Chain A
Amino acid sequence: MILLVDMDAFFASVEQAHHPYLRGKPVIVCGDPSRRGVVTAASYEARPFGVRAGMPLAEARRLCPHAEYVEGNPRKYVEKSLELLEMFLEITPDVEPFSVDEAFLDLKRLPGRGQSLESATDIARELQQRIWDTHGLGASIGVGTNKLIAKMASGVHKPRGITTLDEERFRGVFWPQDVQALWGVGPKMSEHLKALGIATVGALAHAPAPVMEQRFGVVGEHLIQAAWGRDRTAVIPYHEGVDPKSMGHEVTLPEDCRDPEFLEGTLLRLSDQVARRLRADGFKGRTVTVKLRDFRFKTVTRQRALGVAIDDHGGIFEIARALWRENWRGEPVRLLGVSVSALEHGSEAQLEMFAGRERTKALQEALDKVRDKLGEASVVPAGSLAHRRVLGHVPFGAPQKRAPGDRGTGYGQGADPSAPDPTQLKPRLPRDES
């Protein structure tokens, strides 16, 4: 049996647990509340007002002006996530962290327990209570015969729900629902399916296999099986790890901008952040993607595949800038993002083929050592300074007191410009906001 533990409104709940006065109130976690940006997480008290993650902050303020707007702290949430992981590992060694606020637990190796849905549900109930008692956090848990069912069951009753489904009950619950309710079917796939007359999960289950295969290839058969609640994917234990598929960063600009120098400085900063993460985890990538959202919220993503895998900010920036220049029509820009995919473990051999790169590599290693010792802001690409100045990212890591209205990020939260953006806390599951 498999459990999927999904923490309820995780970031907002952590803030409520840390600050009791926030409990029972609408809480909206965001970037610096004095700037423009998007909602990172909304507590359940804020949701009846229509506030959702990803919504522009200005809209959230309109819908729920009396909410508490709290600047998110990614490090805090990651640390809490790791504490929860430790708790899950006390139950079973077969834990697969699925994102910062979700994890699969495979109970197959538990001696004498967890082998039936009833027994697994008991374990889920105990775990839910333990999470509440220890951390003051709510969790919704899906119990299923496979990962797909557990994952989808976890969303049936929220917050603090426990839903147990086998394949038959899965079909009873999900077959009448819109096809997009199926895990793995996004808005675009849903459009394609509906164009074929497949509007519900049940209709997908009964779709003709040849048609699905012709239209979607191997994914077609997989979708039909999923619609029946069938999934043979194994839980990959934490200690075995899974390589990420991509690494990326994006930023909503303080205000819409059409200054090419500032925008390119921003791309440079993002490229630097991505490169640093790649090197820290020993990866190089063969595809660079740039994301551009204009003032009308129209989002364009463009990517370029490379002949060699790279992990240096200069190389990433060069491609990102070229893609940006090809696709920017001079409109005011709201958001920029850079990511690298087609990742592979770093290979020294490729660099050695280019003798001229030895110097660059040595310089990069030296700079990495400086940053490892003194912090991310100790050395930054000069071209990104204009961007950093606006955001208050002060080089050399100087602690700064933030006065009201000051744009500085200050000493505590966010002084480190390479600290993960709350919206990017799922590095293994890059999420496209578009």
Chain B
Amino acid sequence: MFESHNDPVDVLTAFVDGSMRPIRFRWQGRVVRVRKVTGQWARREGQAVLRYFAVQGSRDDSYELCYDARGPSWVLSRAWTGPA
């Protein structure tokens, strides 16, 4: 089941050719390695731009991460970690 979390997370991030991508993150006591970034989008909140990444973990797990440059901080907004 897809669940909303909005948990603050630590994210190891790479900056390559002017673009940013999450490499791995720590969530609920474990480290998730990002196998693939499957989508990106952004949302404005006033002058701030929140950058979202849909990512696949190493197993059949899927997440949405949000980067807020104001912090800077990362939030894990949604996760799917297996059938309900």
Contact = CB atoms under 8 A, between A and B. Distances in A.
Contact of B4 (A374, A376, A412): A412
A397 interface: yes
Interface residues of B, number: 28
Interface stretch (A74-82, A152-160, A204-212, A316-324): A74-82
Given A401-B6, A402-B4, A416-B43, A20 B56 contact: yes
B29 interface: no
A256 interface: no
Interface residues of A, number: 36
Interface string B1-44: 11111110000000000000000000000000000001101110
A376 B1 CA distance: 30
Contacts of B66: 411-412
Nearest to A27: B2
B45 A14 contact: no
A80 B75 contact: no
Task: Select the residue from A20, A69, A371, A373 with max chain B CB neighbours within 10 A.
Answer: A20
Contacts of B45: 374-376, 397, 415-416
B76 to A, nearest CB: 9
B80 A21 contact: yes
A17 interface: yes
Interface string B48-67: 10001010100011101010
B46 interface: yes
Contacts of B48: 375
Contacts of A71: 2, 4, 78
A286 to B, nearest CB: 29
Given A20-B62, A373-B47, A75 B6 contact: no
Contacts, number: 89
B6 A412 contact: yes
A373 B45 CA distance: 8
Contacts of B5: 401-402
Contacts of B38: 17-20
B75 to A, nearest CB: 6
A68 B62 CA distance: 13
Contacts of B62: 18-22
A80 B41 contact: yes
B43 A14 contact: no
A372 B45 CA distance: 8
Contacts of A401: 5-7
Contacts of B2: 19, 68-71
A252 to B, nearest CB: 19
A336 to B, nearest CB: 25
Nearest to B53: A18
B46 A372 contact: yes
For the complex of A and B, 7 pairs with smallest distance between CB atoms: A412-B77, A18-B54, A18-B39, A375-B46, A79-B41, A375-B45, A19-B62
12 contacts: A19-B2, A19-B80, A21-B61, A21-B62, A79-B41, A372-B46, A373-B46, A412-B6, A412-B52, A412-B75, A412-B77, A416-B45
